[in-house]
Amino acid sequence: MRQLPARWRADATRTAKLRGMPLMHVMFYGPPGTGKTMVAQRFAEYSGLEYAIMSGGDVAPLEEQAVTELHKLFKWVHRSRRGVLLFIDEADAFLSSRKRGTMSEPLRNALTTMLYHTGTPSSQFMMVLATNRPHDLDSAVLDRIDESVEFGLPDVKAREDLVTLYFRKYITQPLKIKPLRPDEILDPKEANGNRNGRFSPKSPSMAMPKREDLLAEDGLLEVARRTHGFSGREISKLMTSLQTHILFSDRSLAGARKRSKLPSWLEKKLLFEVVDQKVSEHHRTAEFQVTGYDYVNNENPGSRLVSPKGGGGLIHSPPRSPLHGPGQQPNINSAA
């Protein structure tokens, strides 16, 4: 079945409510960082219903109080003239399978109350669940879901849109740094450039990078290509990390101090250093998920370490202090 975008689905909800038709329970599921929470919040706002937003993790700490709170919620539902949408984020923390046997008594009671109130279709109440663990949900909860929408990882085109969006948000808007347009790369007489293909800086104190070393629009497409498997959240975090690197890179900082202004261009090298670092982090995280994590201590006891400062000096491991756990190497520089 073709899946409707959130806005249309929200309009469909609005229409169903106006016609007194039963409202649908919806589940958004997919890997972390793919926009489920973001879309569900907008869905709630557009739906035309009154709405409440909760996280599944808020329920367990309420203990016995959880059932009382749910009864209050359903009193509100019955009183409401517009109908009520309840968005349960991280739904697996509340509505997980009773089979697992680890569920506390109060949480089980809360789940049963929820099931009781959602057993028959209603034109007054709808649930929107978001989870990255749909397989953990109780089968009776899944049975109540009318429509499930998968949020997958973005493909290269969607990543390009995300890279452009978050470059604009975290780099262009706050730092006034833009990728070069194709005509800026080709035309040596362009306002900001000069005839030898170098970019004229606004301040003579700045080093002059070559045009081909500067980020152009096609560089963002290259970022999208290299970030295969990244979620929207990872792309947005890549851009916040790039922002930090720009602000704290030696050259930018020195320039900014002198001119209280950053350059309006970005060297490709800096961008791709950040991208490479994020790609390695992404692979490391993926590996943790597959193989778990076991710390391997590669230190050979009694080995002699070459001083990182050079000069041929050898560092002898100092006697192990009781404060150092097994395998922890004290700071090499302070031992030298």
Binding site for ligand ATP (CB under 6 A): 32-38, 130, 132, 151, 162, 232-233, 236
CA distances (Å), 113 to each of 62, 83, 93, 94, in order? 14, 19, 16, 12
- E strands along 144-216, which residues? 147-150
32 interface partner picked from Mg ion, ligand ATP, none, CB below 5 to 8 A per type? ligand ATP
Backbone angles phi, psi at 59, to 5 degrees: -80, -50
Would you say 219 or 232 has its CB closer to ligand ATP? Answer: 232
Cβ-based nearer residue to ligand ATP, 37 or 97: 37
Q: CA–CA separation, 179 vs 168, rounded Å? A: 10
Report the partner that residue 33 touches, choosing among ligand ATP, Mg ion, none (CB closer than 5 to 8 A by kind).
Answer: ligand ATP
- Residue number with the shortest CB distance to Mg ion? 37
Name the helix (H) or strand (E) containing 129. Answer: strand 125-131
Q: Least distance from C-beta 149 to ligand ATP, angstroms? A: 11
Which residue in 233, 235, 218, 326 sits closest to 275, CA to CA?
235
251 makes contact, choosing from Mg ion, ligand ATP, none, with CB < 5 to 8 Å by partner type, with none
Residue 109 interacts with which of Mg ion, ligand ATP, none, CB < 5 to 8 Å by class = none
Nearer Cβ to ligand ATP (3/68) = 3
* 129/130 with CB nearer ligand ATP: 130
User: Taking the complex as a whole, how short is the minimal distance between the CB of residue 152 and ligand ATP, in angstroms?
Assistant: 10
In the chain, the N- to C-terminal Cα span, in Å, equals: 67
Out of 34, 37, 243, 252, which residue is the one contacting Mg ion (CB under 5 A)? 37
Binding residues among 204-243 for Mg ion as defined by CB under 5 A: none
Residue 41 binds which of ligand ATP, Mg ion, none (CB < 5-8 A, kind-dependent):
none
Nearest-angstrom CA–CA distance, 282 and 222? 17
263 binding partner (options ligand ATP, Mg ion, none; Cβ < 5 to 8 Å by kind) = none
Q: Is 128 helix (H, G, I), strand (E, B) or coil?
A: strand
**DSSP state string for 226-247:** HTTT--HHHHHHHHHHHHHHHH
Which ranges of 249-267 does DSSP label H, i.e. alpha helix? Answer: 250-259
CB of 132 to ligand ATP, least distance (A): 4
34 binds Mg ion (CB under 5 A): no
| Assigned token pair, 248 | 């704290």
Contacts to Mg ion by CB under 5 A: 37
